[in-house]
Amino acid sequence: MTQETFRFERPRDLGLVKRPTLSVAIITACRDGQEKLNLLMASLAAQSYPENLLTVYIIDDGSSMPIEMPAIAPKKTKIIKYKNAPNKWGKTAATNDVTSAIKADVFWFVDADMVFEKDHLAHHMKWHHAGDGFAVLGWKRFVKEWEYSAQRAFESIRSGKFSQLQSESWGKELWENRIERTQDLLHPALDGYRAFVGATFSIKSELWRKIGGYRRNLVTGEDTELGWRLFMDGVRILPERSAQSWHLGYSTVEINKEQIDRHNQPALAQYIPEMKQVRARTKSAWEVPTFELIVDVRNAKLQQLNNICARLISLPGTQANVVLLASWSQLKKRYSPVTDKHADLREIYNWLKSEDNFSFEEIGEENLEIEELLNRFTDSPTPFHLFADGDFDGDFDGKTLCDYLLSSENGLVGLATQNDRRAFAVFQPALARSISMRGSIYKNISTTWGVVWMTNESFIALHSGSEFRFARALNFVKREGKKINSPRQLLTFVRKLLGVLIRKVLK
């Protein structure tokens, strides 16, 4: 096992590739903005990456004045006029449709209001030459004003004077703090996906197609949702600090934050379970659940199952889809309510058969091997998958097990009781990467992410002491406190903290 294949590890100290071989499609979707586009194309023409390996695709997504070919641009540059129609317009639809017909080893997606340092693409490409499974982010800073022409930008960038184009610039403090806190997304926890931004990122075309591109029904925030799916697929998302760039002007979110949040939050929360605060505002069901839970209920009682489910979704804003395994076909046979030997199973079925988040799968009397259980989980952007024997000794706290799984950074954490009952939790990035490899999923998780088993008694002891509760509370305050960068977010933090305290007191 090499370090590069373990968790989110990646090679160290990569240098620029001396003889690149991978072809690159540079893709930018724009609607108007010819002046900024001219500067972008000048900076692309000045890139040090071999021009014969580059093709630029400018997608004109319904500009009021048709986009024209800039005077300075890479030799292989094409303008594609995307024909808008109802339910067929905007960046996500245009980009997905155009890329479906593009042949290149790597896709580099850029916003039309960017200017790049000459080695920007070359720094992306050193990762893609090193291996698969990378999504590379460029490093950007914002500028308020610019007075240079496309010709001057081209000459300055080509001669190594990129930094002299702007005397003043600023970065996104919250974004850069997240990068620092996670050691360049080496330890991203669950909110690392928020670091994924669409202004400049590259990905191998094969991975882009596997992941499904942008989610077409999103008008804004499509990069954030894409980042979540990439993260859940076990992709190593990494910021390349050497790939410098300028963003021309304020971002749309900065200028219209309140309106953008109002639009984006419910749309993105449909697909990103980590947006618990947004989800907690309503009892609606969401497209992607927080947990996928499989329970063997062959020997379980309704109350045991209810306890497992209730403890798992005790935190507001969480949702679980539950698969119940049993010999359900036995319930079709003639029976008497007085002497029903399947009374417990029938009670479970009758209470839950109309619940949308419960499904029923048939099994016989066989023992369930862990490999079979892992194969039953859906490879989806659901962050946590759990299995439990329905008659697990004592109360099974699946939420605490998932918390421990996340903090330990292992791929699977399992529990065993004195009566040989099992429960375990699996982290989706570990599952997804292991499914994509040959051989046993369980062995792959152990090799690439790590597996830990313990007795239920030792787990309870580990997570019931005052030291653990204090450390957990302190970590919560630190984690949430680092997200504060405005008075409004401070108020949200205080409300969240009070909510946690109230729930603990009532409990």
Per-residue model confidence as pLDDT tens for the chain (507 residues)? 344 579 999 998 899 999 999 999 999 999 999 999 999 999 999 999 999 999 999 999 999 999 999 999 999 999 999 998 888 889 999 999 999 999 999 999 999 999 999 999 999 999 999 999 999 999 999 999 999 999 999 999 999 999 999 999 999 998 999 999 999 999 999 989 999 999 999 999 999 999 999 999 998 899 999 999 999 999 999 999 999 999 999 776 666 778 888 888 999 999 999 999 999 998 888 999 999 999 999 999 999 999 999 999 999 999 999 999 999 999 999 999 999 999 999 999 999 999 999 999 999 999 999 999 999 999 999 999 999 999 998 789 999 999 999 999 999 999 999 999 999 999 999 999 999 999 999 999 999 999 999 999 999 888 875 445 555 555 556 556 655 655 666 677 677 677 666 655 555
* Torsion sign over Cα 119, 241, 225, 399: positive
Sheet of 200-204: strand order equals 77-81, 54-60, 24-30, 106-110, 200-204, 134-143, 236-248, 114-116
Q: What is the 3-state secondary structure (H, E, C) of 13-65?
A: CCCCCCCCCCCEEEEEEECCCHHHHHHHHHHHHCCCCCHHHEEEEEEECCCCC
CA distances for 22 relative to 43, 54, 55, 199, 230, angstroms: 20, 9, 12, 21, 22
pTM for the full model?
Answer: 0.89
Place of tokens 């960017």: 114
Query: Three-state SS for 360?
Result: strand
What average pLDDT does the structure give for the chain? 91
- Report yes or no: 327 and 364 within 8 Å, Cβ to Cβ: yes
- Per-residue pLDDT reduced to its tens digit, 45-102: 999 999 999 999 999 999 999 999 999 999 999 999 999 888 888 999 999 999 999 9
What element of type H or E holds 142? strand 134-143
CA angle 337/342/348 to nearest 5° reads 95
- Check residue 436 and give its pLDDT: 93
For tokens 């919250």, what's the residue? 174
DSSP state letter for 152: H
